[in-house]
Amino acid sequence: MPTPIWKKQASLAALNGANQQTAAQHLGIEIIELGDDFVRGRVPVDHRTKQPFGLLHGGVSVVLAESLGSIGAYYASPEGHHAVGLDINANHLRSATSGWVTGTARPVHIGRTTHVWQIEMVNEAGELTCVSRLTMAILAPRQGVTP
């Protein structure tokens, strides 16, 4: 079993609660599992997330990827630190027309000032639909600044 990477307390309720009134909630994204070294979530393939040809919109896959990687980076960084996206890419490998697409984010690199996360997305048959890589900047608390 992997060593837990989380430096902040997290629960599924807290993760899903943080998504209230955001793009993730609007698209129906749900965080469904937090393992020792991964975070998993899913998005429905429905009227909110399909493009005009009836396929899951590629941008929605990117929103799922960035949501999962951002959560991972934030909770794997020290208390008081924040994580913001620097770069994301996505390779769309297979379309999805119904059901759910589930993404799993795992760290490739956890550094002091940057993290790199790999997010793999699969359809309900377990077939890979998209692979994404996300680079995050880890921001230390600013001295003399109160939130």
66 as an active site residue: the answer is yes
Q: Answer positive or negative: Cα dihedral of 95, 99, 104, 105.
A: positive
| Residue in 2, 3, 17, 1 with CA at minimum distance from that of residue 71 | 17
Tell me which of 66, 79, 124, 127 is the catalytic residue.
66
Q: Give CA torsion, residues 117, 118, 123, 125, to 10 deg.
A: -130
Q: Please tell me the distance from the alpha carbon of residue 90 to that of residue 131, in angstroms, as a whole number.
A: 6
Cross-strand pairs, 115: 110, 136
Catalytic residue numbers, as ranges: 66
